[in-house]
């Protein structure tokens, strides 16, 4: 066979399966399906429509061996006659002098009757025709697989859309076309739709759209409460403006809106207003001091320009490395950094250009118009800090106490950082690759061993089908019995059938998917000779079974024992299900050995022997023809009757030789030998794999680590030439983890360059970056509180995203401190400058934090509010995707705000206190060094 190179492209998987079933002849269903296939493929957005359950047509010539023998015919003669007779002969041109004419001799078969009347041999005045030695019928090839929908025979069209085309519009076009076509079909033809991706996508899009609305409303409520109506409207303009600009960019570069893009918009909702809040809040202060709105917004835009640019740049720096994420996971998640970079860059323009321009026209001292708040703002600038009341006054008193013992505050922060890591290691739920999401589809794989015929396989699959057809919560059962035409690494060799399940919509009151799968496992227990595997659809990046151990060696004979040992080890460890390995299946195949010398005595060659054996097996193709009712050529096949296609008949076949017909057993011997299975190699080494699933509720990473420990303890029992590696989820997890660590380091490096460039101070840059490390305290606390595992993909992205978000508040805080210190210099103690910095930055820091956290709260609590149908749901699949990422950012940002408001000022105070000590030590060392240098010179 030719080698096959397969590319994994998720856009080339079926987006819809149209099934035709009903009490009608198979030929009728097939004709309708093929006509529908042509019309569906004519839709511009459809790439192809493949027919499943289709059997190719053929013309069978059922020969009678005794008549062939009596007339002295053999398979070679018949094949030769057909090859010479079924053709169009171009006999040249005839030039008569008065014209030139092409001459043709038409000889192609046009009907079955042409085949029946073809002469094979002439004796005197009589001719032996095909109809004299055989029965002819137009039929289908032997069934190798069977398709059913909900237990009824069906033909299915699996439809694939073109890359980049809209799924919802494509499926709507297909449904409209099918509805139009079925009007002319027989009434008892039933059309069904399964695996409809648009239904799931519409549901997810609606949920995410509702979450976007919820996030915008919550953010606006917070801003209105803090800044007042008019000012909050100026800030709120940044959200739709950034969304539209970002989506326009995505459209320009050729990307479409998907679930990752929508979540990125939700994640960015609270971040988009950060720059606008900083500018508007500063303008509010200036207007409270008496400055007119035009000048106030101009000063605010200029004064906060670099802090806003730096904070946005550091956020973009956190997401930029994610653009280079390789492999399938990277292809899946790349839309998040692209979307965030687009909308956050747009928010920078909104904050520094559009919002100040609008503020200069329509601005008004918003919440700062409140006399009490105005007095507090003035006091934070130059007044008495003790006169400030309320939450700001309480914060100043707490900060004042922290500044008295800055070293203790820093020590407590470090202790918390270490302590929470230890606590999560002891009480947390461990690590996982990707969150467990409730799918819309699942499959039941039927395993059986032995040389089973297609009908035996179908019988066994029907047994399973009969037991699960009434399972509650399942909408459709799409069954394909028979060996899968293409086996990937996710399907073992002994799979004889697959039942695709489509669940009822989430929220319809059905049981959970895990309950349905357990119900199916219970229903299918006790079936003799078969093994049932129930497998949920992988919603994230495909990784196959949870645990996959690959063994590789240049000595194949040593692999079987090692595989058996490791498979036994999985049983010894316990906590696994659906354990299997890739050792060759037991089975036999028949080999017909030919004694060439003996065959030559009868004038029989290998080719003739092969022709006769083919007539007992699949049939000998002798010709082809194209009937009027078919677009494809149909094979004409010679074969024996069904009752004569047996192993015994194979031994009794008689072949026409020089001296008459001879039994094939006179010069052949039929032997049974082990069947050759699939041979897998990796880097030129033979490989076998042991794999298993982990039951619901158990942590996959922990089970993989248990297997690794067991293998390490028993390594001396495994041949040293065998290399052992873990594939599937563990490999993908390690790859993703390594990339995210590198991306995190690169992001920190880029942010450090930006910060040092802005502040021209190494300490300030490192102090801001230290908040990134400290923010992991909040991440781990959030996971502990919510009892969620640390997801390598989602929580890892959350930590990186958090790095870009939390530095913003620190940048503005330290920038304000540096500005006040330059302004007041020696006129004000450093401690008072730090207190005034905290008082002035408290409101914008809290606002930017609360807006980001509040925007993510619906995702954290998996809450979905449908504003159109006025329904509230909790735990929808669309929210399960992002709960880990949202939790990491929400808790991490909340805790890092405390660090920004308490620990960062304490670090500034600690530097001031210890700076004098370091200076004195430095001067003392310099004096000692100078003295030592002077003594050396004197000696010299």
- Written as one string, the DSSP assignment of 537-563 is ---SS---SSEEEEEEES-GGGHHHHH
Residues pairing with 791 in the sheet:
432
Tell me the percentage of the chain whose pLDDT exceeds 90. Answer: 9
Which of 518, 538, 558 delimits the end of a domain?
538
pLDDT tier, 712 (very low <50, low <70, confident <90, very high otherwise): very high
250 with 395, same domain? yes
Is the same domain home to 23 and 110? Answer: no
Q: What is the pLDDT of residues 216-247, one digit of tens each?
A: 888 888 888 777 777 778 888 888 888 899 88
- The yes-or-no verdict on residue 368 having pLDDT over 50 is no
Domain residue limits at 482: 440-538
Question: What's the mean pLDDT in 302-313?
Answer: 85
Residue 931 included in any domain: no
CATH of the domain at 768: 1.20.1640.10
* Mean model confidence pLDDT for the chain: 83
CB 193 within 8 A of CB 18: yes
Compute the Cα dihedral for 556, 559, 560, 561 and give only its sign. positive
The verdict on 213 and 350 lying in the same domain is yes
Statement to judge: residues 35 and 75 lie in one domain: no
Block residue for tokens 């660590």:
741
189: β partners: 22
Residue 563 lies in a domain: yes
Task: Tell me which residue has tokens 């500034």.
Answer: 908
Residues 223 and 170 in one domain: no
Closest residue by Cα to residue 278 from 207, 218, 355, 215: 355
* Whether residue 218 sits in one domain with residue 302: yes
Question: What is the DSSP code (8-state) at residue 428?
Answer: S
What CATH code is carried by the domain that includes residue 19? Answer: 3.30.70.1320
Per the domain annotation, does 932 fall within a domain?
A: no
And the tokens for 113? 């009757």
Task: Let me know if residue 315 belongs to a domain.
Answer: yes
User: Which segment, 63-72, 313-322, 913-922, is predicted with the most confidence on average?
Assistant: 313-322
CA distance 877 to 506: 8
> Which secondary-structure segment (H or E) carries 218?
helix 197-227
Nearest Cα to Cα of residue 905 among 403, 284, 520: 403
Q: Do the Cβ atoms of 728 and 691 come closer than 8 Å?
A: yes
pLDDT in tens, 80-122: 888 878 777 777 788 877 788 888 777 788 888 888 888 888 8
pLDDT for position 549: 92
State residue 729's pLDDT score: 82
What is the per-residue pLDDT across 250-298, written as a single tens digit (0 to 9) for each?
A: 888 888 777 788 888 887 887 788 888 888 878 877 887 778 888 888 8
The alpha carbons of the chain give a radius of gyration, in whole angstroms, of: 39
Kindly state the DSSP code that residue 12 receives in the 8-state scheme: G
Instruction: List Cβ neighbours of 91 (8 Å cut-off, separation of 6 or more).
Output: 103, 104, 105
Would you call 837 helix, strand, or coil by DSSP? helix
Identify whether residues 405 and 496 lie together within a single domain.
Answer: no
Give a yes or no: residue 936 inside a domain.
no
pLDDT for residue 376: 61
Residue 2 falls within a domain, yes or no?
no
Residues in the chain, total? 940
pLDDT digits (tens, 9 = 90+) for 468-478: 999 999 988 98
Return the DSSP state at 851.
H
Dist. CA 920–CA 438, nearest whole Å: 64
Reading the block at residue 607, the tokens are: 């080719």
Residues 722 and 738 in one domain: no
Last residue of a domain, one of 701, 727, 753: 727
Tens of pLDDT, residue by residue over 404-450, are 888 898 899 899 989 988 998 888 888 888 788 888 888 899 988 88
Over range 640-645, report the average pLDDT. Answer: 85
* pTM confidence score: 0.75
Which of 472, 444, 473, 471 minimizes the C-alpha distance to 460?
444
pLDDT band, very low/low/confident/very high, at 857 (cuts 50, 70, 90): confident
Q: Are 679 and 686 spatial neighbours (Cβ–Cβ below 8 Å)?
A: yes
User: Residue ranges of the alpha helices (H) in 428-526?
Assistant: 454-468, 513-523
Read off the pLDDT of residues 16-46 as tens digits, 9 standing for 90 and up.
889 898 888 888 888 899 899 999 999 998 9
* Residue 928 confidence (pLDDT): 67
pLDDT at 175 over 90: yes
Which strand (E) or helix (H) includes residue 650? helix 647-652
Backbone phi and psi for residue 61, each to the nearest 5 degrees, phi listed first: -105, 100
Tell me: do 444 and 335 sit in the same domain: no
Contact between residue 686 and residue 554 where contact means Cβ atoms under 8 Å apart: yes
**Integer Cα distance of 60 and 64 in angstroms:** 13
331 inside domain:
yes
Calculate mean pLDDT across residues 904-918.
Answer: 79
Question: How many domains, the chain?
Answer: 5
In a domain, 937, yes or no: no
pLDDT recorded at residue 665: 87
Of 161, 176, 195, the position where a domain reaches its end is 195
pLDDT higher for 328 or 763?
Answer: 763
Closest CA to 883 of 800, 806, 811, 786: 786
> Do residue 179 and residue 246 come from a single domain?
no
CATH number of the domain where residue 528 is located? 3.30.70.1430
Co-location of 45 and 171 in the same domain: yes
Question: Distance between CA 791 and CA 540 in Å, rounded?
Answer: 12
Residue with tokens 């062939």: 68
CA distance 51 to 58: 17
Q: Does 371 lie in the same domain as 298?
A: yes
pLDDT at residue 630 above 70?
yes
pLDDT: is 935 or 745 the higher one? 745
């Amino acid at each position: 066979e030719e080698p096959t190179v397969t590319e994994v492209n998720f856009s080339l998987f079926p987006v819809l399966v149209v099934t035709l079933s009903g009490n009608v002849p198979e030929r009728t269903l097939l004709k309708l399906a093929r006509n529908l296939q042509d019309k569906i493929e004519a839709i511009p957005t459809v790439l192809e429509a493949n027919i499943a359950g289709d059997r190719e047509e053929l013309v069978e010539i059922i020969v009678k061996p005794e008549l062939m023998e009596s007339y002295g015919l053999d398979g070679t003669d018949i094949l030769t006659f057909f090859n010479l007779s079924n053709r169009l002969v171009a006999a040249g041109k005839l030039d008569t002098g008065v014209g030139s004419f092409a001459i043709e001799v038409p000889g192609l078969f046009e009907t079955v009757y042409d085949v029946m009347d073809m002469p094979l041999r002439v004796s005197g005045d009589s001719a032996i025709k095909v109809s004299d030695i055989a029965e002819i019928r137009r039929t289908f090839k032997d069934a190798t697989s069977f398709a059913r929908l909900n237990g009824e025979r069906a033909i299915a069209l699996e439809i694939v859309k073109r890359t980049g085309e809209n799924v919802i519009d494509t499926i709507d076009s297909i449904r409209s076309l099918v509805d139009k076509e079925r009007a002319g079909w027989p009434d008892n033809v039933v059309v069904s739709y399964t695996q409809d991706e648009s239904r799931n996508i519409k549901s997810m899009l609606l949920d995410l759209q509702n979450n976007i609305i919820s996030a915008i409303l919550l953010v606006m409520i917070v801003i209105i409460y803090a800044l007042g109506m008019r000012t909050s409207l100026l800030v709120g303009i940044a959200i739709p403006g950034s969304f539209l600009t970002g989506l326009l960019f995505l459209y320009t570069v050729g990307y479409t809106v998907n679930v990752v893009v929508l979540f990125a918009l939700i994640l960015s909702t609270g971040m988009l207003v950060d720059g606008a809040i900083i500018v508007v809040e500063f303008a509010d202060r200036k207007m409270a001091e008496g400055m007119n709105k035009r000048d106030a917004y101009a000063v605010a835009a200029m004064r906060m320009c670099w802090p806003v640019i730096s904070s946005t740049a550091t956020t973009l720096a956190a997401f930029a490395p994610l653009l280079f994420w390789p492999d399938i996971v990277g292809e899946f998640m790349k839309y998040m950094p692209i979307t965030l970079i687009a909308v956050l860059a747009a928010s920078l323009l909104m904050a520094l250009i559009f919002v100040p321009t609008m503020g200069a026209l329509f601005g008004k001292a918003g919440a700062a118009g409140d006399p009490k708040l105005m007095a507090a703002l003035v006091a934070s600038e130059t007044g008495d800090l003790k006169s400030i009341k309320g939450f700001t006054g309480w914060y100043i008193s707490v900060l004042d106490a922290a500044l008295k013992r800055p070293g203790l505050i820093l020590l407590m922060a470090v202790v918390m950082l270490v302590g929470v890591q230890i606590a999560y290691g002891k009480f947390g739920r461990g690590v996982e690759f990707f969150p467990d999401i409730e799918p819309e589809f699942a499959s039941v794989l039927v395993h059986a061993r032995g040389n089973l015929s297609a009908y035996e396989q179908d019988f066994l699959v029907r047994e399973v089908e009969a037991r699960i057809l009434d399972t509650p919560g399942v909408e459709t059962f799409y069954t394909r019995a028979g060996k899968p035409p293409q086996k990937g690494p996710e399907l073992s060799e002994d799979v004889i059938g697959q039942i695709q399940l489509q669940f009822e919509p989430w929220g319809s009151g059905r049981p959970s998917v895990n309950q349905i799968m357990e119900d199916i496992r219970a229903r299918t227990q006790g079936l003799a000779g078969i093994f049932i595997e129930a497998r949920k659809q992988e919603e994230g990046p495909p990784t196959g079974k949870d645990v996959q151990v690959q063994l590789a060696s240049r000595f194949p004979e040593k692999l079987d024992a090692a595989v058996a040992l490791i498979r036994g080890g999985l049983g010894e460890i316990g906590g696994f299900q659906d354990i299997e390995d890739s050792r060759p299946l037991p089975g036999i195949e028949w080999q017909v050995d030919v004694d060439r010398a003996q065959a030559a005595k009868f004038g029989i060659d290998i080719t003739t022997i092969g022709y006769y054996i083919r007539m007992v097996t699949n049939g000998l193709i002798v010709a082809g023809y194209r009937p009027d009712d078919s677009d494809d050529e149909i094979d004409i096949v010679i074969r024996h009757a069904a009752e004569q296609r047996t192993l015994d008949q194979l031994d009794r076949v008689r072949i026409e030789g020089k001296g008459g017909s001879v039994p094939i057993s006179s010069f052949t011997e039929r032997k049974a030998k082990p069947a050759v299975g699939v041979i897998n190699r990796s880097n030129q080494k033979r490989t076998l794999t042991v794999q298993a699933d982990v039951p619901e509720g158990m942590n996959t990473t922990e089970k993989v680590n248990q297997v690794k420990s067991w293998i390490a303890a028993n390594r001396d029992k495994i041949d040293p030439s065998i290399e052992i590696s873990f594939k599937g989820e563990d490999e993908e997890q390690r790859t993703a983890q390594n990339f995210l660590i590198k991306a995190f380091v690169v992001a920190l490096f880029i942010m450090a360059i930006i910060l040092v460039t802005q502040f021209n101070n190494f300490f300030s840059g490192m102090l801001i970056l230290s908040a990134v490390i400290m923010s992991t305290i909040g991440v781990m606390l959030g996971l502990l509180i919510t009892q969620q595992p640390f997801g390598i993909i989602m929580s890892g992205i959350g930590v990186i995203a958090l790095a870009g978000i939390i530095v913003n508040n620190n940048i503005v805080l330290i920038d304000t401190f540096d500005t006040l210190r330059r302004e007041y210099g020696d006129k004000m103690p450093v401690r008072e400058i730090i207190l005034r910095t905290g008082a002035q930055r408290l409101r914008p820091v809290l606002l930017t934090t609360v807006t980001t956290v509040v925007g993510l709260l619906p995702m954290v609590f998996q809450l979905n509010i449908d504003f159109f149908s006025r329904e509230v749901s909790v735990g929808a699949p669309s929210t399960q995707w992002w709960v880990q990422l949202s939790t990491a950012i929400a808790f991490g940002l909340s805790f890092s705000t405390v660090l920004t408001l308490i620990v960062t000022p304490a670090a500034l105070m600690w530097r001031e206190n210890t700076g004098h000590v370091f200076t004195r030590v430095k001067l003392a060392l310099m004096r000692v060094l100078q003295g030592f240098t002077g003594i050396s010179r004197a000696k010299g």
